[in-house]
Amino acid sequence: MDHYAADLAALTEALDLRDAIHAGHSTGGDEVAAYVARHGSARTAKVVLIGAMPPIWVKNANNPDGAPLEVFDGFGKALVVMARGLR
């Protein structure tokens, strides 16, 4: 999931966004937080976390009962498909 924050950083830079308001719901909230933590807040005016889902929900060695990462990646892919259908 690290690549989502990197993708947001690349998009923000490519569009030369300044004073952006980044809002994220559920897993998106985690990615907005990761973006600011990894890439700084120089281009960010505000961050909005709506029902943010912490990374502890992901299955890993320390959290064997979590959901597999593929589940969360699937959510992202489904949102892209849905968004394309709304155009």
* The predicted structure's pLDDT at residue 45: 94
At 55 the pLDDT is 60
How many domains are there within the chain? 1
Q: Which residue range forms the structural domain that includes residue 66?
A: 2-85
pLDDT in tens, 33-78: 889 988 999 999 999 988 876 666 778 888 888 888 888 777 777 7
What lies within 8 Å, CB to CB, of 17 at 6+ separation is 43
Q: Which residue has the higher pLDDT, 15 or 51?
A: 15
pLDDT digits (tens, 9 = 90+) for 23-32: 998 888 888 8
Task: Give the Å distances, CA to CA, from 43 to 6, 12, 67.
Answer: 14, 8, 33
pLDDT at res. 54 = 63
| Residue 21, pLDDT score | 94
Whole-number pLDDT of residue 44: 94
- Cβ atoms within 10 Å of 58's Cβ, excluding its own: 17
Q: Using one digit for the tens of pLDDT, what is the confidence trace for 76-85?
A: 777 777 777 7
Strand partners, 86: none
